[in-house]
Structure 1
Amino acid sequence: MSVTPLRRRLSPEESRAAALSAARALLVEVGPQAVTLKAVGARIGRTHANLLHHFGSAEGLQKALIADLAARIVGTIKAAVIRSREAEDPAEVVDLTFDAFGRNGAGALASWMILSGNENALDPILTAIHDLVEDLAQDHKNSGAPIREETLQLVLMALGDALLGSSMAKALGLPRETARQLARGMLLADRRK
């Protein structure tokens, strides 16, 4: 006779946090198509109905995941921007931005959701970036640095790199890190103006 272990009852916050953690892991390990209610539920030992209760749909789960990723990423990038202003080298900011969209899967998830018809998929990321830029611009009013333009270039470069960077670099016979180097050079040039 097999005995099924009792599952510990989680608070709504704990259940939601566990689901988002599992969704992040699936995103990185398998890709955005793997972030489904069924797959996340299987990872955390919860039912499809339980996750429906917390997120409403797979789209709701994915949007919550993007919001969670955006909050984590923006907090890390803000600290790096402040450090880079003191060091005069934006390398850490470039790496964190490229990693957020590439290695952490935010670029693939956002693109996949948009291509799946969810046009509001980027709202949490766009809002988080907007708020970060506004906050940083207030902190650095007299710098003369074109923070909005730099942010636009950096985010578009990082997103493009996440989606096509490896293939493009290979096709052009360039080292994989070329886009990061170009982004860093762009930010350094803006600082020297």
Structure 2
Amino acid sequence: MSITRERLSPEESRSAALEAARRLLIESGPQAVTLKAVGSKIGKTHANLLHHFGSAAGLQSELARYIGERVTAGIAEAVQRARQGEADPREIVDRTFDAFGREGAGALAAWMILSGNRDALDPILESIHHLVDQLGRGHEDRPVHETTLWLVLAALGDSLLGAAMADALGLPRDKARALAREQLIAAADAKA
């Protein structure tokens, strides 16, 4: 009996590989994101993934771009909805913390920094920069860049050390998120 595989377009194969890499990153950590492991998840060979990404570093860079685009799209939506009064500013904090925690941006950033592959972070940083520029247009009276800086650093820190630090201090696990919500709400109230 032969197994028939569905033939995917090159773009569909790349997308499937990136989603598999993201899931591996979240489930098992950065060390689990190898060309072989990603290929195994989607039924592709190591050579096939090399064809799509050029190298493991190429996969990492594209994974950073993929996560960066996912992260900023969700945050942009939350900011726009909050500005229109359709969402609570807390949603912005939740999306940011989730992006770095559950979506894997924090683990990816730490992995790239610790492995010396800082250039692979450029897509995430570029996505955030583009988002901040977009959100700042027409709102020059608001500290969009400064707010983004502290919120991203808080979410990144929480994704990497939040559970251990909260436990060590005898605080609830979501205390950093709650503090970030309070800060964002206070900043929004100050502008109102």
Which bin holds the TM-score, normalised by the shorter protein? over 0.9
Question: Is residue 192 of structure 1 aligned with residue 186 of structure 2?
Answer: no
State the alpha-carbon separation in 1 of the partners of residues 168 and 119 from structure 2. 33
State the alpha-carbon separation in 2 of the partners of residues 55 and 22 from structure 1. 14
| TM-score normalised per structure 1 | 0.93
Instruction: Report the counterpart of residue 38 of structure 1 in structure 2.
Output: 36
SS in 1 for 2:137: helix
2:71 aligned to which of 70, 73, 97: 73
AA of the residue aligned to 2:181: R
Deviation at 1:76, TM superposition (A): 1.1
- The range that moved more, 90-99 or 26-35, is 26-35
Deviation at 1:4, TM superposition (A): 3.9
Question: Is residue 168 of structure 1 aligned with residue 160 of structure 2?
Answer: no
SS in 2 for 1:64: helix
Consecutive unaligned residues in structure 1, runs of 5 or more: none
Consecutive unaligned residues in structure 2, runs of 5 or more: none
| TM-score normalised per structure 2 | 0.93
- The range that moved more, 86-95 or 166-175, is 86-95
Instruction: Report the counterpart of residue 7 of structure 1 in structure 2.
Output: 5
How much is the aligned-residue C-alpha RMSD, in angstroms?
1.4
2:22 aligned to which of 16, 21, 24: 24
AA of the residue aligned to 2:5: R
The answer (yes or no) to whether the contact 1:74–1:132 under 8 Å persists in 2 is yes
**Equivalences for residues 1-193 of structure 1 within 5 A:** 3-87=1-85, 89-141=88-140, 144-193=141-190
- The range that moved more, 158-167 or 100-109, is 100-109
The answer (yes or no) to whether the contact 2:136–2:142 under 8 Å persists in 1 is no
State the alpha-carbon separation in 2 of the partners of residues 131 and 27 from structure 1. 25
State the alpha-carbon separation in 2 of the partners of residues 99 and 9 from structure 1. 33
State the alpha-carbon separation in 1 of the partners of residues 118 and 26 from structure 2. 22
State the alpha-carbon separation in 1 of the partners of residues 189 and 22 from structure 2. 38
Deviation at 1:89, TM superposition (A): 3.5
AA of the residue aligned to 1:12: P
Number of aligned residue pairs: give it. 189
Deviations 1:81-116 (A, max 9, x none): 011223383100000000000111111111112111
Q: Percent same amino acid at aligned positions?
A: 63
The answer (yes or no) to whether the contact 1:41–1:51 under 8 Å persists in 2 is yes
Cα pair distance change 1:139/1:33, threshold 3 Å: farther
